[in-house]
Structure 1
Amino acid sequence: MLNTRTYHVPDISCDHCRNSIEGALDDVAGVDSRMVDIESKTVVVTGSASEDAVTKAISDAGYEVERVTGAGSMGGHPGPMP
């Protein structure tokens, strides 16, 4: 089952940070996509990777990370049709 989860990473400040986190997540089995937003200091991860694997990869890349509770869960509920 694919999950979409959002993480707050307060130390994101530049393209180097984005590239480091993206590279770390590229090595995690089950990560289908990842989006790092410098402005909001968030990382959105979609895939079947465990939350532990995702947070460990971001932490091992040198960044503090915390899950944004209640955010980023698709749960099979698509948005409204236009």
Structure 2
Amino acid sequence: MTTITVEGMSCEHCEQTIEEALRGVSGITDAHADREAERATIEGDPVNAALVQAIEDAGYTAHA
């Protein structure tokens, strides 16, 4: 399991957007975003740079 800090989520829709973006990354089996904790938890065999890029492409700021 990998955890990434995500800034800019303010609602449930933001969480869903992040989760969909992360699930689209090769090697990811599941993702859960938590706006209150400002993080996303990812399951699978991720490459951190790809995760950060997917989150940033969705319009948010991420730190691995």
> Could you tell me the TM-score, scaled by structure 2's length?
0.90
Aligned partner of 1:42 in structure 2 is: 39
2:49 equivalent to 1:22: no
Question: RMSD over aligned Cα, in angstroms?
Answer: 1.0
4+ runs of 1 displaced by more than 3 Å?
none
Q: Which has the larger radius of gyration?
A: 1
Q: Which runs of 5+ in 1 are unaligned?
A: 68-82
The number of residues matched between the two structures is: 64
Query: Could you tell me how far apart the structure 1 residues matched to 2:21 and 2:6 are?
Result: 14
Higher share of residues assigned strand: 2
Q: TM-score, normalised by structure 1?
A: 0.72
Aligned-partner Cα distance in 2 for 1:53–1:18: 18
The percentage of counterpart residues that share the same residue type is 34
Q: In the aligned structure 1, how far is the partner of 2:43 from the partner of 2:23? A: 12
